[in-house]
Structure 1
Amino acid sequence: MNPALRTDDSIRTEAVPRREWFGVKFVALCVGAGVAVAVLLALTGFIAGIFCAPTLTASVDQLSRIVPEGGRGEAMGCGTAPP
């Protein structure tokens, strides 16, 4: 009634060749993971930009009000003021 039990002779003990790891499935997995990481980085950068952009704009606007026209380049961090 029950199927016969396997013997030790029927068990395969061969190692999997390395070349099988580089098949189509492995390449597809790597490409899919790369795309997923790229999408997550783009989404995270977009969300961070939404929160950082108003702060940067407000600070540049305030600096342009406070600093005289001749010293704005140095105040903005360019190192030297334009002539």
Structure 2
Amino acid sequence: LDQEIGDKFASIEGLYQQQEDLAGQLEDLEAQVRELDQEAEFGLLSVISGAIDNAEKLEQNPASMAGAAGVSLTDFLPAPPSRGD
């Protein structure tokens, strides 16, 4: 009986260690998600800011909407976000 109790305690200790390890992994993942969320938020703000700037450019130069020479739609598109970070 003592051996069985000892085995159960060893098993419980192993489970507690596993729980501790998993809790550490969860904290790391939560930090990673927060960082990715912040990056996405800044990316969205950049796109919105670029769209506002482009709308202001179009308002200042309405001829560009009619396809005036030297003006391309790509001039008003924001640069794609970099993925190399």
TM class by smaller structure:
0.3 to 0.5
Structure 2 length normalisation: TM-score?
Answer: 0.42
Structure 1 length normalisation: TM-score?
Answer: 0.43
More helix by share: 2
Q: Which has the higher contact order (CA 8 A, sep 6+)?
A: 2
